[in-house]
């Protein structure tokens, strides 16, 4: 009897291990990084100029169906804006820890060396720093000022875009639309908007 129970338990454990192994098939992880072209909209009007910054971090892709997966990410992202007028440049530099959770649809034949995909999903950004900078006025207004106390600590948004993977390497282009008024100081409805061009390297 005890031998039979031991065999049954061993069989269940082996089936569980096999199920986990099957779930791992198609799972990928890696790093990505590139450039952000960021600006802000105020009361619905998007600024003409932009702040160019950096984005770098990591991702995990978990399959849920043959062509579909969920891709959580976490990366450092530079947002903000910059405006120049009459020789005076005013900029707002906002840095975030960005955490998107993307639904991803991958196209192309299995085993193909090129895999295009489309993705979309919500994102939350945790504010690391916010600084305002004025240059060129020739007055006491010139300088860099910490405005983190006037900035909300979280920035919710929506991300969508497309990617192409070549083996372990990839390139994705995405647009992040801010849904949160990031101003905590009553200076209007200010939202972050970012175009990102990112290269990726897959570890497995």
End-to-end CA distance of the chain: 44
CA 25 to chain centre: 24
Strand partners of residue 83: 90
Calpha distance 98→103 (Å, rounded): 16
**Domains assigned to the chain:** 27-202 (2.40.160.20)
Is there a contact between 73 and 56 (Cβ–Cβ < 8 Å)? no
**What's residue 51's pLDDT?**
93
pTM here is: 0.84
**Span 3-44, pLDDT tens digits:** 443 443 444 334 343 444 444 557 999 999 999 999 999 888
**What's residue 127's pLDDT?**
98
With a cut of 80, say whether residue 162 has pLDDT above it: yes
Calpha distance 102→161 (Å, rounded): 10
Give the lowest-confidence range in 28-42, 46-60, 170-184: 46-60
């Amino acid at each position: 009897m005890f031998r039979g129970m031991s065999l049954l338990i061993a069989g269940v454990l082996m089936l569980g291990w096999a199920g986990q192994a099957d779930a791992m098939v198609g799972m990928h992880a890696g790093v990505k990084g590139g450039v952000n072209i960021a600006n802000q909209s105020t009361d619905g009007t998007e600024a003409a100029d932009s702040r160019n910054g950096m984005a770098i971090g990591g991702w995990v892709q978990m399959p849920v169906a043959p062509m579909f997966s969920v891709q959580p990410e976490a990366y450092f992202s530079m947002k903000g804006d910059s405006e120049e007028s009459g020789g005076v440049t005013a900029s707002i530099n906002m840095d975030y820890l960005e955490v998107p959770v993307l639904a991803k649809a991958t196209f192309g034949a299995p085993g193909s060396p090129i895999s295009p995909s489309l993705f979309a999903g919500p994102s939350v950004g945790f504010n690391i720093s916010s600084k305002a900078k004025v240059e060129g006025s020739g007055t006491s207004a010139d300088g860099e000022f910490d405005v983190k106390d006037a900035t909300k600590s979280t920035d919710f948004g929506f991300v969508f875009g497309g990617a192409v993977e070549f083996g372990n390497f990839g390139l994705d282009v995405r647009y992040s639309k801010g849904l949160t008024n990031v101003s905590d100081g009553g200076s209007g409805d200010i939202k972050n908007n970012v175009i990102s061009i990112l290269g990726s390297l897959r570890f497995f």
